[in-house]
């Protein structure tokens, strides 16, 4: 869910991942969010497969 300000939400997630010193995946999905410069520990994907 991107909310009203998807760029701000993405930046919060990126900062949290970096502060926790963990790897992460950002799925842009339907929001069309595009992160400008991601560290090599964060992977950006368009979408993932849904499994039930």
Residue 19 located in a structural domain: yes
- Domain extent, residue 17, equals 6-45
Calculate Rg over the CA atoms of the chain: 11
DSSP calls for 1-52: ---S-HHHHHHHHHHHHHHHT--EEEE-GGGT---SS--TTEEEES------
1 belongs to a structural domain: no
Q: Is residue 31 part of a domain?
A: yes
34 part of a folded domain: yes
Whether 52 maps to a domain, the answer reads: no
The token pair at 19 is 């502060």
* Cα dihedral value 14, 17, 22, 28, nearest 10: -50
Count of structural domains within the chain: 1
Q: Which range scores top for mean pLDDT: 3-7, 15-19, 25-29, 37-41?
A: 15-19
Averaged pLDDT, 19-32: 85
Q: Is the pTM of this model over 0.85?
A: no
């Amino acid at each position: 869910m991107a909310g009203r300000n998807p760029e701000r939400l993405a930046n919060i997630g990126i900062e949290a991942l970096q502060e926790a010193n963990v790897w992460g995946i950002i799925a842009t999905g339907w929001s069309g969010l595009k992160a400008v410069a991601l560290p090599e520990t964060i992977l950006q994907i368009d979408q993932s497969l849904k499994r039930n």
